[in-house]
């Protein structure tokens, strides 16, 4: 008996948007069949390794490579002198600065690349590194950005003119030889007036410490120059393969069509793999010189000590309010420590990224932000570690300022947030610092979150705990961390956002095969986010072919359309939109083919899940599978054969996901040990493509937030030595430290995105850090604490308790 298949069953069979489709990538990952850069083995391949500076600031008197070259198996040792004739001893950074590829006369941070050894295997290369004799003359070290702005020590001699004057930097005039830029947004005078007139002003200075994205797979590449056909292939851990291709072409002079960049499987990026590193340049040069492939893979210490760090922002804030708690103005000054070179990965017009989202989820009429970038003797970087261009710093700043204001007003911090939220009917909302928030419903999310955790009950329990503590009945305090964050993800638009002049659009190209399966290629690259699973789901819904029959391919510049890559949660807002738009082009052509086959006018057929049906006669239809076949085997008047489409999508605006997080934490006052009893995370990322993947993203982002808030740090001593260069010292949480997360959601679609989706991958990190930190601070609020700096490791928490006199 033929059971009629329902419309819902047809939709389910597609595995389209909204279903918890299992990750197609996992079949190979769980069987150890991934293909990472270090898995690539090419015939005759050599290995590169760096000689690195033990000093944070030193002049290089001499480099002698004789002993290294004499070692059996060593093929070459490159120094800046070898790269100079090629013009490759310095390279441009993404922030408009330039950076030494190999030390040119001096070194500016510990671990800086001094020479590059090429040998037959990595062990010989490592031995040869020890045999390169470098004579250093130590120079005064500056690790404090405030000291740097007063110091006579010139870090970047290349940025001081012969007459001692300071040429402008990439972002305008510089105030001091160690100053990089000043970036100002908003109304300075008006904001200062509001602050001086306000009934209540809360002030605080907070340090968002230096940390590191620390992906499990470190950075690396294999460069392979084929001298016969003049083609360079560069495999690497690149989050933006096309941008790397263009950069390599610009700095090497090799025509772009002769460069193929391939990002194979990537073991996490989190911003660490966006920029270009000396290892890439040296490997390319070494392959050109030797004529054989050269591999370079960092070890863990090299990754932590020298590749792009994150944060290192000193943020000073003033927040003004009425006695009833209505915020009237926000003032913020940031001193941003960029290390030895400004290698931040931000769109060109935004030297401090999207720090100007720091008015957060609140309707703040007047605001001003100024950021001063500073050189110090630390590693370069300043990447968005699981966030969109400094949004994590911005959200941490405003969510801590709200807590401090609540203390000043002697008010409940949840209520203070509620009375200041941007209201649903104010969207699209123009912020005082220049953004247009697309959509939001903050009150609904907030109320849902507070209800889910029984907020009033928690506050009553906390008050009782304080009483019990004072009465000597317990040594544990209870903190309730609150955060309502607004993210800004999906850069472009092209008119506002470019990196090195490359507009931040993204792309998707689809080819439908005659039998009704397809391949789609995108300008993005997954690093664990499950793009092969979710982009196929978008297409399944858009073109009516099963997701299981759609291959998603990313990361090969010879085949993928040009795109700006994956970081800043831009894949769904930008490439996801390109995918939907390319799918709609396929559908438009399919409609004409269907109409021809059904012998009706184009306007008389309509799309229905997996087919085109004649309007009013649903029994007359052609499935997308039938239409695909017809596209290749029928001569249709006026229509070209084939079924392909490409879309380059320039987003009209960013998307603004948001969320409400609550953390309940117990703190042992005598040991400083934290116990996260509960973590509730409500995320709103608009239309949800795959709820299971979203949940995974939230778990991962929260875990990295826990790491940063509670211990993860790149710390330096006064000599510029990195104190946390191994995973023994750098906190990487494991299942042991991670609590059970409760996830929840609301859905407020983006009005300008073709499927209403916003990004999600970074939200939990952006919202999680202040939430954990607020919980720690809140635990001590009853004992007079206003603010204590992250990371809240056990020692620092113990110290806070001690300073508050809680140890008796």
Q: Does 712 bind ligand CDP (CB under 6 A)?
A: no
570 is an interface residue for ligand CDP by CB under 6 A = yes
Site for ligand CDP contains 534 (CB under 6 A): yes
Residue of the chain from 521, 688, 745, 752 that contacts ligand CDP (CB under 6 A):
688
Q: Is the backbone of residue 673 left (phi > 0), alpha (psi -120 to 50) or beta?
A: beta
Give CA–CA dist 310/714, Å, rounded: 9
Please answer whether residues 306 and 212 qualify as being in contact, where contact means their C-beta atoms are separated by less than 8 angstroms.
no
Cβ proximity to ligand CDP, 431 vs 687, nearer residue? 687
Residue among 212 and 688 whose Cβ is closer to ligand CDP: 688
Could you tell me the smallest distance in angstroms from the CB atom of residue 658 to ligand CDP? 12
Helices 455-470 and 442-453, axial angle in degrees (round to 10): 50
Catalytic residue among 387, 508, 685, 771: 387
Smallest distance, ligand CDP to C-beta of residue 535, A: 7
CA 523 – CA 565 distance, rounded (Å): 6
Listed ranges 341-349, 757-765, 774-782, 791-799: which one lies at the site for ligand CDP (CB under 6 A): 757-765
CA distance 687 to 695: 14
CB of 14 to ligand CDP, least distance (A): 16
Q: Does 746 bind ligand CDP (CB under 6 A)?
A: no
CB of 686 to ligand CDP, least distance (A): 5
In the bound state with ligand CDP, the residue whose beta carbon lies nearer, of 185 and 694, is 694
- Our CB check for ligand CDP shows the closer of 488 and 627 to be 488
Three-state SS sequence of 694-726: HHHHHHHHHHHHHHHHHCCCCCECCCCCECCCC
Residue 530 interacts with ligand CDP (CB under 6 A)? Answer: yes
Choose between 278 and 568: whose C-beta lies nearer to ligand CDP: 568
One-letter-per-residue 3-state SS of 93-129: CCCCCEEECCCCCEECCCCCEEEEEEECCHHHHHHHH
φ, ψ for residue 121, nearest 5 deg: -145, 170
Please say which residue, 387 or 801, places its beta carbon nearer to ligand CDP. Answer: 387
**Contact pick of 252, 272, 376, 529 for ligand CDP (by CB under 6 A):** 529
254, 407, 590, 694: which one binds ligand CDP (CB under 6 A):
694
Question: 187, 521, 622: which is closest to 364 by C-alpha?
Answer: 187
Q: Which of residues 758-777 bind ligand CDP (CB under 6 A)?
A: 758-761
Listing from the earlier edge strand, what are the strands of the sheet with 605-608?
605-608, 611-614, 617-623
Please identify, among the stretches 8-16, 82-90, 692-700, 733-741, the one whose residues bind ligand CDP according to the rule CB under 6 A.
Answer: 692-700
Candidates 106-114, 475-483, 565-573, 706-714; binding stretch for ligand CDP (CB under 6 A)? 565-573
Mention every residue, 6+ apart, whose C-beta is less than 8 A from residue 510.
Answer: 518, 519, 520, 539, 543, 579, 582, 583, 586, 644, 645, 646
Distance CA 411, CA 400 (A): 14
By C-beta, is 687 or 774 nearer to ligand CDP?
A: 687
Nearest CA to 396 among 326, 269, 486? 486
Q: According to CB under 6 A, which one of 647, 690, 712, 777 is a site residue for ligand CDP?
A: 690
Q: Is 359 in the site for ligand CDP (CB under 6 A)?
A: no
Residue labelled with tokens 């911003």: 271
Minimum distance from residue 400 beta carbon to ligand CDP (Å):
25
What's the min distance (Å) between Cβ of 690 and ligand CDP?
A: 4
Q: Should residue 569 be labelled a site residue for ligand CDP when binding is judged by CB under 6 A?
A: yes
Q: Is 572 in the site for ligand CDP (CB under 6 A)?
A: yes
Tell me how many residues contact ligand CDP (CB under 6 A): 23
Stretch of 44-52, 497-505, 686-694, 713-721 contacting ligand CDP, by CB under 6 A: 686-694
Return d(Cα 531, Cα 326) in angstroms, integer.
42
523 binds ligand CDP (CB under 6 A): no
Active site residue 239: yes
Interacting residue with ligand CDP among 202, 251, 685, 707 (CB under 6 A): 685
Q: How many angstroms separate the CA atoms of 603 and 585, rounded?
A: 16
The dihedral through the CA atoms of 535, 541, 547, 550 has a sign that is negative
Distance CA 493, CA 349 (A): 12
CA-nearest of 191, 140, 148, 193 to 314 is 148
Closest approach of ligand CDP to the CB of residue 687, in Å: 6
Tokens of 60: 């290089």
531 touches ligand CDP (CB under 6 A): yes
Is residue 697 at the binding interface for ligand CDP, with CB under 6 A as the rule? yes
**Which backbone phi and psi does 305 adopt, to 5 degrees?**
-85, -25
Give least dist CB 757 to ligand CDP, A: 4
Structure tokens at 615: 């309007």
Separation between Cα atoms, residue 521 and residue 786, nearest integer Å: 51
Contact between 566 and ligand CDP (CB under 6 A)?
Answer: yes
Length of the chain: 808
Decide whether 689 or 708 has the Cβ nearer to ligand CDP.
689
Could you give phi then psi for residue 7, rounded to 5 degrees?
-60, -40
Omega cis (within 30) before 428 = yes
Per-state percent for the chain, helix, strand, coil, to nearest 5: 30, 25, 40
Stretch that binds ligand CDP, among 184-192, 271-279, 577-585, 753-761 (CB under 6 A): 753-761
State which of residues 304, 689, 775, 779 lies at the interface with ligand CDP (CB under 6 A). 689
Q: Is 387 a catalytic residue?
A: yes
Question: Catalytic one among 156, 210, 311, 386?
Answer: 386
Q: Which is nearer to ligand CDP, 268 or 516 (CB)?
A: 268
Q: Which is nearer to ligand CDP, 65 or 750 (CB)?
A: 750
CB of 320 to ligand CDP, least distance (A): 34
Q: What DSSP element (H or E) covers 486? A: strand 476-486
- Closest approach, Cβ 654 to ligand CDP, in A, equals 12
Reply yes or no on whether 112 is catalytic.
no
CB of 558 to ligand CDP, least distance (A): 22
Instruction: Return the range that interacts with ligand CDP (CB under 6 A); candidates 234-242, 338-346, 691-699, 731-739.
Output: 691-699
Q: Near ligand CDP by CB under 6 A, which window of 39-47, 207-215, 567-575, 783-791? A: 567-575
Stretch of 466-474, 568-576, 591-599, 728-736 lying at the interface with ligand CDP (CB under 6 A): 568-576
Q: Tell me the DSSP string of 265-318.
A: --S--TTTTSS--HHHHHHHHHHHHHSS-EEEE--HHHHHHHS-EEEEEEEEEE
By CB under 6 A, residue 462 contacts ligand CDP: no
| Tokens 């508050």 belong to residue | 804
The burial of 43, by beta-carbon neighbours within 10 Å (0-12 exposed, 13-18 middle, 19 or more buried), is given as: exposed
- β-bridge pairing 381-383 and 259-262: unpaired
Region near ligand CDP per CB under 6 A, out of 123-131, 294-302, 399-407, 528-536:
528-536
Q: Select the residue interacting with ligand CDP from 686, 764, 768, 770 (CB under 6 A).
A: 686
Cα–Cα distance for residue pair 267/35, rounded to 1 Å: 10
Which two tokens mark 421?
Answer: 């939220």
For residue 262, the cross-strand partners are: 235, 556
- Which of these is catalytic: 239, 462, 529, 712? 239
CB of 538 to ligand CDP, least distance (A): 8
Q: Alpha helices, DSSP H only, in 20-173?
A: 26-29, 66-69, 80-83, 122-131, 145-148
Which string of x and - marks every residue 633-672 that binds ligand CDP (by CB under 6 A)? Answer: ----------------------------------------
The contact set with ligand CDP (CB under 6 A) reads: 529-531, 534, 566, 569-572, 685-690, 693-694, 697, 757-761
Q: Which residues have a catalytic role annotated?
A: 239, 386-387, 762
């Amino acid at each position: 008996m033929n059971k009629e298949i329902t419309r819902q069953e047809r939709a389910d069979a597609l595995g389209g948007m909204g279903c918890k489709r299992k990750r197609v990538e996992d079949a190979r990952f769980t069987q150890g069949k991934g293909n990472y850069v270090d898995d690539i083995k090419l015939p005759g391949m050599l290995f590169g390794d760096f000689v690195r500076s033990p000093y944070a600031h030193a002049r290089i008197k001499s480099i002698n490579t004789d002993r290294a070259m004499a070692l059996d198996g060593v093929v070459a040792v490159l120094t800046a002198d070898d790269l100079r004739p090629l013009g490759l001893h310095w390279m441009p950074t993404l922030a408009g600065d330039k950076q030494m590829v190999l030390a040119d006369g001096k070194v500016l941070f510990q671990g800086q690349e001094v020479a590059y050894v090429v040998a037959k295997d990595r062990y010989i290369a490592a031995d040869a590194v020890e045999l390169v004799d470098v004579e250093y003359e130590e120079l005064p070290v500056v690790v404090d950005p405030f000291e740097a702005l007063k110091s006579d020590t010139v870090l970047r001699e290349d940025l001081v003119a012969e007459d001692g004057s300071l040429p402008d930097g990439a972002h305008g005039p510089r105030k001091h030889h160690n100053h990089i830029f000043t970036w100002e947004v908003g109304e300075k005078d008006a904001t200062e007036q509001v602050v001086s007139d306000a009934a209540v002003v809360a002030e605080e200075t907070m340090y968002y410490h230096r940390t590191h994205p620390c992906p499990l797979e470190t950075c690396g590449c294999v460069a392979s120059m084929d001298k016969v056909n003049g083609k360079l292939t560069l495999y690497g851990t690149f989050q933006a393969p096309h941008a790397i291709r263009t950069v390599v072409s610009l700095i090497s002079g090799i025509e772009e069509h002769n460069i193929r960049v391939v990002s194979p499987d990537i073991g996490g990026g989190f911003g660490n793999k966006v920029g270009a590193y000396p290892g890439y340049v040296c490997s390319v040069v070494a392959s050109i010189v030797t004529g054989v492939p050269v591999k370079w893979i960092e070890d863990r210490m090299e990754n932590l000590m020298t590749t792009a760090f994150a944060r290192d922002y000193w943020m000073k804030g003033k927040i003004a309010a009425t006695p009833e708690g209505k915020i009237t103005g926000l003032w913020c000054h940031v001193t941003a420590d960029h290390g030895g070179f400004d290698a931040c990965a931000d769109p060109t017009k935004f030297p401090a990224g999207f720090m100007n989202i720091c008015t957060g989820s609140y309707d703040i009429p007047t605001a001003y932000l100024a950021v001063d970038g500073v050189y110090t003797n630390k590693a370069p970087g300043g990447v968005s570690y699981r966030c969109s261009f400094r949004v994590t710093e911005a959200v941490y700043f405003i969510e801590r300022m709200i807590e401090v204001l609540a203390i000043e007003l002697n008010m409940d911090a949840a209520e203070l947030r509620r009375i200041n939220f941007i209201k649903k009917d104010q969207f699209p909302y123009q912020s005082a610092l220049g953004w247009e928030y697309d959509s939001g419903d903050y009150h609904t999310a907030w109320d849902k979150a507070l209800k889910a955790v029984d907020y009033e009950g928690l506050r009553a329990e906390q008050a009782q705990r304080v009483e019990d503590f004072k009465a000597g009945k317990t040594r544990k305090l209870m903190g309730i961390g609150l955060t309502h964050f607004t993210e800004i993800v999906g850069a472009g638009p092209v008119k506002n956002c470019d990196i090195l002049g490359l507009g931040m659009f993204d792309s998707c190209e689809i080819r439908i095969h005659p039998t009704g399966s397809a391949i789609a290629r995108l300008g993005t690259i997954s690093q664990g986010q499950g793009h092969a699973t979710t982009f196929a789901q978008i297409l399944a819904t858009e073109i009516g072919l099963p997701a299981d029959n759609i291959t998603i391919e990313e990361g090969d510049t010879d085949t993928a359309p040009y795109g700006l890559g994956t970081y800043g949660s831009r894949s769904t807002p930008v490439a996801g939109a390109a995918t939907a738009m390319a799918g709609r082009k396929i559908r438009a052509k399919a409609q004409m083919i269907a109409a021809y086959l059904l012998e009706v006018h184009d306007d008389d057929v309509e799309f229905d899940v997996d087919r085109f049906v004649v309007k009013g006669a649903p029994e007359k239809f052609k499935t997308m599978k039938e239409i695909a076949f017809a596209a290749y085997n029928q001569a249709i008047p006026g229509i070209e054969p084939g079924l392909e489409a490409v879309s380059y999508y320039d987003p009209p605006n960013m998307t603004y996901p948001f969320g409400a997080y609550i953390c309940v934490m117990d703190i042992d006052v005598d040991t400083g040990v934290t116990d996260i009893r509960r973590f509730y995370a409500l995320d709103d990322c608009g239309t949800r493509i795959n709820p299971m993947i979203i949940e995974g993203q939230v778990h991962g982002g929260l875990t990295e937030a826990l790491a940063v808030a509670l211990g993860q740090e790149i710390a330096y001593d006064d000599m510029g030595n990195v104190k946390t260069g191994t995973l023994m010292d750098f906190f990487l949480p494991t299942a042991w430290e991670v609590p059970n997360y409760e996830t929840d959601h609301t859905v407020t679609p983006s009005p300008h995105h073709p499927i209403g989706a916003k990004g999600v991958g970074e939200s939990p990190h952006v919202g999680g850090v202040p939430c954990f930190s607020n919980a720690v601070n809140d635990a001590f609020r009853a004992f007079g604490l206003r603010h204590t700096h992250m990371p809240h490791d056990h020692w620092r928490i113990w110290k806070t308790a001690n300073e508050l006199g809680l140890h008796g």
